[in-house]
Amino acid sequence: MQASVNRPALSQRGESLAPARRLMLAIASVAAVGAAVSSISLYLHFGTSKTSFCNFGESFNCDIVNRSAYSTLLGVPVALIGILGYLLILALATVYRDKAETPVMLLIASVGGLGFALYLTYVEKFILQAWCVLCLSSLVLIFSEAVLGGIVLMKSLRQ
């Protein structure tokens, strides 16, 4: 009786699927961190204290950004939109990771989120003239998601 050996699953071209799974794990991890950052921002949006932990003067002040007129879209807090966006990306990278359309959906979701984050960064810089550390962190995270989503799509097109 021969012992069975665990081998990684192979794509149609005979390549290991392990790197694709690692990419999806990275995307899921970044999305979880993004949801956490957005949750903190949402908490601060509704916070009753006069200051938060991420205020470092007039230039870096989460309260100015989180409590401005630009912190909601049609009455919905921008941070809540961020949470929902990151949870969508997390679901795509985990529950739906094996679906053929997932790479395209990941890229659409992350690039859409990146576009919205860039608009909000413009608002911070030129309108509010204050930076939110949590918002900038989210910008870095959604940029990372867009890059990883692009890599996943390119790899899926090669298979």
Task: Give residue-wise pLDDT tens across range 43-83.
Answer: 999 988 777 788 898 899 999 999 999 999 999 999 999 99
Tokens for 13, please give them: 């071209």
Rounded to whole angstroms, the Cα distance separating 33 from 24 reads 14
Kindly report, residue by residue over 2-20, the tens digit of the pLDDT.
554 454 455 555 455 577 8
Q: Kindly give the interhelix angle for 18-46 and 78-94, rounded to the nearest 10 degrees.
A: 160
Rounded to whole angstroms, the Cα distance separating 115 from 142 reads 9
Scored b (16 or more CB within 10 A) or e, 110-140 reads bbebbebbeebbebbeeebebbbbbbbbbbe
Whole-model pTM: value is 0.87
Contact 132, 65 (CB under 8 A): yes
Domains of the chain: 19-46+55-158 (1.20.1440.130)
